[in-house]
Homo-oligomer: A and B are copies of this chain.
Amino acid sequence: MSQPQQERSRATRQRLLDATIDNLAEVGWSGTTVVAVAARAGVSRGAAQHHFATRDDLVRAAVESVTDELTREMREQEAHFAEGGNRPLAVVELLTDMWAGRFGRAATQLWVAAATDPGLRALVLPLEQRFSRELFRTTAELLEVDRREPRAAESVRLTIDLTRGVGLGALLRSDLQRRKADLAQWAAVLATLPGIGS
């Protein structure tokens, strides 16, 4: 039995967005063409064009989706964060896994492409800034940061940057497992810094 038309439309649009995100994560920015995305979504180019009139429209929707999903993912992790155990290590691993995930990899591809593409940059920058604030807030919350300690904010930012750097290296080298010991050391250091785990 076929779907109600509006539901069918919604489903096609969602498949196109999912396909765009997967394409970004697996093929990269330059390989994310409307032709490739439509094929991966299993819809025709005419259908794709009906939903997104131009490639720019598709990309805009995908960028918004990626940052929304990353934000949602972080909030969900925060909501379900397991007490007990090594909190700094768990947070560091959470962030590292985020960058390594589907949305994290798509985001990295988009951000690097945005660095050199003015149109994409104008689109990505405000969304990335909003996401960064949310990421900072969530990470600080999970690390139980004492907001009165001025150095604590620096530690949070260092943690985020470090996991981003590890994530970037892992994109190419697929060496995340081997980085566990390094990350464990950072978590151990983090636990000793002022304002962390108050």
Contact = CB atoms under 8 A, between A and B. Distances in A.
B173 A117 contact: no
B111 A116 contact: no
A112 B154 contact: no
Contact of A30 (B113, B172, B179): B113
A162 interface: yes
A27 interface: yes
A128 to B, nearest CB: 7
A115 interface: yes
Given A154-B185, A165-B161, A172 B29 contact: no
A42 interface: no
Main secondary structure of the interface of A (DSSP, over half): helix
B28 A171 contact: no
A92 to B, nearest CB: 11
Contact of A125 (B26, B121, B173, B193): B173
Contacts of A117: 28, 31
Interface string A1-41: 00000000000000000000000011111110000000000
24 contacts: A25-B116, A28-B112, A28-B116, A30-B113, A31-B116, A109-B112, A109-B115, A111-B171, A115-B171, A115-B172, A124-B172, A129-B173, A151-B185, A154-B185, A155-B185, A157-B182, A158-B182, A158-B185, A158-B186, A161-B165, A162-B165, A164-B168, A165-B168, A189-B189
Interface of A: 25-31, 105, 108-109, 111-117, 121, 124-125, 128-129, 151, 154-155, 157-158, 160-169, 171-173, 179, 181-182, 185-186, 189, 193
